[in-house]
Structure 1
């Protein structure tokens, strides 16, 4: 019970600090005039209920799976926006959706893990814990990262619990989506400022690497949880430690490649050359993937409320608090294209399936974009 109280206090404290920061934040930097350097357009859009939880969008071949705050779960054909199926968890959600294309899993505010297949609820399992991170569905298993950093594995077919691992951690944890991902035959999970690799069959810890060093004078300021989304480039996984660092880990060997102390609250994107991210003031930085050295920085988006980024072959893409999608050159950070949505903040990092990119706004707008 005490741990649950502390977790709630953490959520309230972070929300209070965020509110104070937003009230004191300078006005967003005006956007410079732009002559588009590449083509791109919105090819379809849909709408779901407004987002009130740490959002994620699940991507499987040719399919985007999204979930709304009211419990609606929706699978859309990536190329056309055609609805493939629709289901409901029958309760409001606390985190986004995870899906492998067959099964989709969400967690309700009451702490129930709900797994669906083709829109039909297969099973419902009480977790008795807070969850802010979307479940991971892989290998006919559903993995859950609890707000207390415990990791749980369930059989996707019937919901039977396979294993659970509780790691020692700080009394306060971040009320934001964390890192939970698959790497080859290893399950990756963020546990505080550490990235841990587990055997997905039995939960055995294979390795763990510290990415960020918590800083501050109190426990709220020292929150340094790894935040979503992570970025994978071959054997390397790059992550952000909340308000502490950006770093890359060789997930094959379980070793730290590099880490750089830098503030920031959202995840990163990467390719073989560069890792991209925005700090707490929305200063954009590109670090060299092999070394962590700074390749370039730009301050032309300061205080615009940038989302986590997406790296595509032609550009790095951010959304902002005014619902604008920014396409930037990867070598210099120059603006190549802007596209508008519904004027509400972009709620999460853009995702891509094939040639179609999806952005989701806080008001529930789904905008599929195709660069040309």
Structure 2
């Protein structure tokens, strides 16, 4: 027993010693589970990608880059060498949309198990056909082009001797046909018409297939695009088709320039393609769905009988168009393609259309001077639009570009001594720039967006913003001289004349402030909204109102004078020269009103509304119309003298310097036109929307919506 107890004591001592030994050893770090972080991939660039083969139905796609709703969405075109490559890129998310014929669609749909949005965008009405040689001794090959309907057209010939040959380009097919290396080939326009004119005869029936817009949502799946981006592009497409119907010459010219073609080539290339408008598509959606299904089924049957069966799931040919309801498309008229003879596109130098004129000018009297050492939008208190000049008359180069930190939202003006420039910004600041270098000297905060053009006199510049605040600022240091509140949004350019600052507010109040201290000289309610600035001639202030009336007030005390009813709302700042006020109206007319009593001297119908301030220079007045034209009108009788087409509508006020008229259009271009010779001096393209420029010392100062002001010389 004693031995047993002794052994237990020894074991306990050994265990205790071991515990003390290991306790004294340094602890090893316990392994921990480490999550291996995957490297974060950069977000793909936001851009919309089209996969293209160079077919005629793809030509209008490139003009989408000019649509206003897509200015924030870069559009890219990926050239593809074959339909197979294009479908692989579509289904893998490398492109977002392709335009496929029903032949291509019938072959691809059963093979690719992907979710698609598609709709018929055009009907082939003779755009593609087989043509061939009359010489029966030529090799019995009939060539067809990738992505078209040529293979089906060739099989439809039902000639067992003919063998099919796939070629990559219409140029190659035409060359082989001319050389007698093939008997026939399928061509699309303009190659089809060229081959016919060279004596090759049509074979079989021309194509009457559908051209189909196909999207596989690849951009959405990769995070490159949102669902709204896809819908926005489709809406822009139908807007483009509407423009093609309403403005065929202008739209075809845009398509030509974006595809680097001559303008006359576009109607020839699109001949035999009838594009669907939104109204046609939505009204005939069920019929078009059935037509599309039938055409694809017929193609599959034809190929199967010819020993070329289509693999995959044939049930995928049962497409539907129900997703189109998400677009909110409204009804529109059909979009016929004009023939080349119906749509001549003049060169820019020849585009002005002169019209004969007769009679004298009863308003050819000296104009009214604003007086005082002032500068303002429109050049003077009468808003004739004539700037100091001299004019910039040749293609300019950029002298400097100054970053504003925010989008310029007002026209730009210079100081009376020509040393400074002033422009209002979207962030509520008035920016003062050095005119020589473009350096920002100071900014004055107004708190709300500034859309009214500032005005300048002596040592001060006046500015108003959307909140109704009006301020006078020291030009030297940007410090406040005075600031007052006049009510709601101040609209149109500010007008200075005879020591008074005259302005209009959206709620319909015309106000005169003393330039010395900002005190109110007088204020008058019109009873109607106002969206434009005021013009002054002598003691008469003219205001255009939304209630279809033009009103006058005394500049001295604000006493109401005459009022003249017109056919619709007047949204543009009037222009007064030699006793005649030129007013654009929503009834698609331009009116000449006698400033003395408001009576109508003449009225000139135009295709659309004039919603920007005109320019009066010499005997004529120029107006920018929403029909995408600049019109020159005789101030004596309202007769049209000439007009010049721009790509998009003109909605910014016109200006002139010397004998040159300047207009900015919604196509992001500045147009300079000779007032006397009616010729285009130059046009300057920018990357974003433009505000009304200022021209002085043959330098043009241009506010651009990308947040910059540019000097061009």
| Separation in structure 1 between the aligned mates of residue 453 and residue 544 of structure 2, nearest angstrom | 18
Alignment-derived partner of residue 621 in structure 2: 275
Q: Is the 8 A contact 1:240 1:246 kept in 2?
A: yes
TM-score using structure 2 length: 0.42
Query: Secondary structure, in 3 states, of the residue corresponding to 1:226?
Result: coil
Query: Secondary structure, in 3 states, of the residue corresponding to 1:24?
Result: helix
Alignment-derived partner of residue 502 in structure 2: 143
Matched, 1:237 2:581: yes
Alignment-derived partner of residue 74 in structure 1: 431
Larger Rg: 2
| Mapping of residues 213-292 of structure 1, within 5 Å | 213-214=567-568, 224-228=569-573, 230-242=574-586, 244-252=588-596, 254-262=598-606, 263-264=608-609, 265-292=611-638
- Specify whether residues 38 and 100 from structure 1 end up closer, same or farther in structure 2 by C-alpha distance, changes over 3 A only: closer
Report the number of matched residues.
330
- Specify whether residues 337 and 364 from structure 1 end up closer, same or farther in structure 2 by C-alpha distance, changes over 3 A only: same
Alignment-derived partner of residue 309 in structure 1: 654
State the shift of 1:240 in Å.
1.6
| Separation in structure 1 between the aligned mates of residue 661 and residue 414 of structure 2, nearest angstrom | 18
| Separation in structure 1 between the aligned mates of residue 516 and residue 460 of structure 2, nearest angstrom | 9
| Separation in structure 1 between the aligned mates of residue 667 and residue 442 of structure 2, nearest angstrom | 29
| Mapping of residues 86-97 of structure 1, within 5 Å | 86-97=442-453
Matched, 1:47 2:403: yes
Q: Is the 8 A contact 2:408 2:703 kept in 1?
A: no
**Any idea what the Cα deviations from partners look like across 1:57-105, whole Å, max 9, x if unmatched?**
3455325321112222234455x25558533134122532432333323
State the shift of 1:252 in Å.
5.0
State the shift of 1:354 in Å.
4.7
| Separation in structure 2 between the aligned mates of residue 22 and residue 329 of structure 1, nearest angstrom | 35
| Separation in structure 2 between the aligned mates of residue 333 and residue 21 of structure 1, nearest angstrom | 34
Alignment-derived partner of residue 218 in structure 1: none
State the shift of 1:121 in Å.
1.4
Query: Secondary structure, in 3 states, of the residue corresponding to 1:43?
Result: strand
Alignment-derived partner of residue 361 in structure 1: 704
| Separation in structure 2 between the aligned mates of residue 23 and residue 67 of structure 1, nearest angstrom | 35
TM-score using structure 1 length: 0.75
| Separation in structure 1 between the aligned mates of residue 696 and residue 600 of structure 2, nearest angstrom | 30
- Specify whether residues 72 and 279 from structure 1 end up closer, same or farther in structure 2 by C-alpha distance, changes over 3 A only: same
| Separation in structure 1 between the aligned mates of residue 702 and residue 625 of structure 2, nearest angstrom | 21
Larger mean CA deviation between 20-29 and 100-109 belongs to 20-29
- Specify whether residues 113 and 77 from structure 1 end up closer, same or farther in structure 2 by C-alpha distance, changes over 3 A only: same
Alignment-derived partner of residue 219 in structure 1: none
**Any idea what the Cα deviations from partners look like across 1:156-181, whole Å, max 9, x if unmatched?**
23222221101233xxx46x4x0313
**Any idea what the Cα deviations from partners look like across 1:10-64, whole Å, max 9, x if unmatched?**
xxxxxxxxx99997352754267779x94544334323244475x2334553253
Choose between structure 1 and 2: higher strand proportion.
1
Alignment-derived partner of residue 411 in structure 2: 56
Choose between structure 1 and 2: higher helix proportion.
2
Alignment-derived partner of residue 518 in structure 2: 159
| Separation in structure 2 between the aligned mates of residue 66 and residue 286 of structure 1, nearest angstrom | 29
Q: Is the 8 A contact 2:411 2:693 kept in 1?
A: no
State the shift of 1:288 in Å.
1.4
Alignment-derived partner of residue 190 in structure 1: 544
Matched, 1:206 2:561: yes
**Any idea what the Cα deviations from partners look like across 1:250-291, whole Å, max 9, x if unmatched?**
335644332223322322223123222232231232211211
Q: Is the 8 A contact 1:113 1:126 kept in 2?
A: yes
Query: Secondary structure, in 3 states, of the residue corresponding to 1:134?
Result: strand
Q: Is the 8 A contact 1:242 1:266 kept in 2?
A: no
- Specify whether residues 283 and 73 from structure 1 end up closer, same or farther in structure 2 by C-alpha distance, changes over 3 A only: same
- Specify whether residues 84 and 234 from structure 1 end up closer, same or farther in structure 2 by C-alpha distance, changes over 3 A only: farther
**Any idea what the Cα deviations from partners look like across 1:121-154, whole Å, max 9, x if unmatched?**
1222233323232332333322220112211122
Alignment-derived partner of residue 217 in structure 1: none
Aligned partner of 2:239 among 7, 24, 28:
24
- Specify whether residues 181 and 50 from structure 1 end up closer, same or farther in structure 2 by C-alpha distance, changes over 3 A only: farther
Alignment-derived partner of residue 296 in structure 1: 642
- Specify whether residues 38 and 104 from structure 1 end up closer, same or farther in structure 2 by C-alpha distance, changes over 3 A only: closer
Alignment-derived partner of residue 116 in structure 1: 473
Large movers: runs of 4+ above 6 Å: 19-23, 32-35
- Specify whether residues 258 and 114 from structure 1 end up closer, same or farther in structure 2 by C-alpha distance, changes over 3 A only: same
Q: Is the 8 A contact 2:394 2:682 kept in 1?
A: yes
| Separation in structure 1 between the aligned mates of residue 668 and residue 618 of structure 2, nearest angstrom | 29
- Specify whether residues 242 and 98 from structure 1 end up closer, same or farther in structure 2 by C-alpha distance, changes over 3 A only: farther
| Separation in structure 1 between the aligned mates of residue 440 and residue 516 of structure 2, nearest angstrom | 21
- Specify whether residues 350 and 82 from structure 1 end up closer, same or farther in structure 2 by C-alpha distance, changes over 3 A only: closer
Q: Using CA pairs under 8 Å that are at least 6 residues apart, name the structure with larger relative contact order, 1 or 2.
A: 1
- Specify whether residues 319 and 258 from structure 1 end up closer, same or farther in structure 2 by C-alpha distance, changes over 3 A only: same
Q: Is the 8 A contact 1:227 1:242 kept in 2?
A: no
State the shift of 1:344 in Å.
0.4
